[in-house]
């Protein structure tokens, strides 16, 4: 089949039509979401209109809930977006209905305890649980969405 340009390809930059190290893409409700890691943001592209808007970040590098430092992955579960904010050592949760952003995992300093992360690089969901890869710690953590309990899944 034919390969077409979906997003970016207009030189490295921080305009909405440009990307700087896109690292993840996910789809939800007719939209595509791309983690634009070095521009410190997540972009949303409407599949019906092609319009690109800012979904998260883009407010300067920082560790406030409205800021990111290196978003590397995005996934969706039950009407919420989850973003691994690798350099801030955390996973953020954003409600698609209210826009509220909360801390989902990490954010308690770099480390190897079950309540800590070192560099969360991806997130996925299966059967009501979140799975987060924590690359430098050589492990995958599992967090129950119903109880909040974090356990070692692999590594």
Q: What is the DSSP letter of 116?
A: -
Q: What is the arithmetic mean of pLDDT over 131-148? A: 97
CB-based burial label for 20 (10 Å; 0-12, 13-18, 19+):
middle
Is residue 146 helix, strand or coil? Answer: coil
In this structure, the strands spanning 90-95 and 101-106 are antiparallel
User: Could you read off the pLDDT of 53-105 as tens digits, one per residue?
Assistant: 999 999 999 999 999 999 999 999 999 999 999 999 999 999 999 999 999 99
CA distance linking residue 77 with residue 68, whole number of Å: 20
Hey, how many other C-beta atoms are within 10 angstroms of the C-beta on 140? 16
Q: Which tokens belong to 27?
A: 């789809």
| pLDDT for the residue 75 | 98
CA distance linking residue 121 with residue 152, whole number of Å: 16
Share of the chain above pLDDT 90, in %: 98
Is residue 58 helix, strand or coil? Answer: coil
CA distance linking residue 127 with residue 122, whole number of Å: 17
pTM assigned to the model: 0.96
Q: What is the mean pLDDT of the chain?
A: 96
| pLDDT for the residue 113 | 94
Confidence of residue 129 (pLDDT cuts 50, 70, 90): very high
Q: Which tokens belong to 104?
A: 């989902």
| pLDDT for the residue 17 | 93
| pLDDT for the residue 63 | 94
| pLDDT for the residue 118 | 97
Q: What is the DSSP letter of 70?
A: -
Confidence of residue 35 (pLDDT cuts 50, 70, 90): very high
């Amino acid at each position: 089949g034919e390969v077409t340009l979906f997003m970016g390809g207009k030189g490295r930059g921080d305009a909405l039509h440009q990307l700087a190290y896109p690292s993840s893409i996910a789809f939800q409700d007719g939209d595509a979401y791309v983690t634009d890691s070095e521009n410190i943001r997540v972009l949303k592209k409407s599949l019906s209109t092609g319009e690109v808007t800012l979904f998260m970040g883009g407010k300067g590098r920082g560790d406030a809930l409205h800021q990111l430092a290196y978003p590397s992955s995005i996934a969706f579960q039950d009407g919420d977006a989850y973003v691994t904010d690798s350099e801030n050592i955390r996973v953020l949760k954003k409600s698609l209905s209210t826009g509220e952003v909360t801390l989902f995992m990490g954010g308690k300093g770099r480390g190897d305890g079950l309540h800590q992360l070192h560099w969360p690089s991806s997130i996925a969901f299966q059967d009501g649980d979140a799975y987060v890869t924590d690359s430098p710690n050589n492990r995958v953590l599992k967090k129950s969405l119903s109880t909040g309990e974090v356990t070692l899944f692999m590594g």
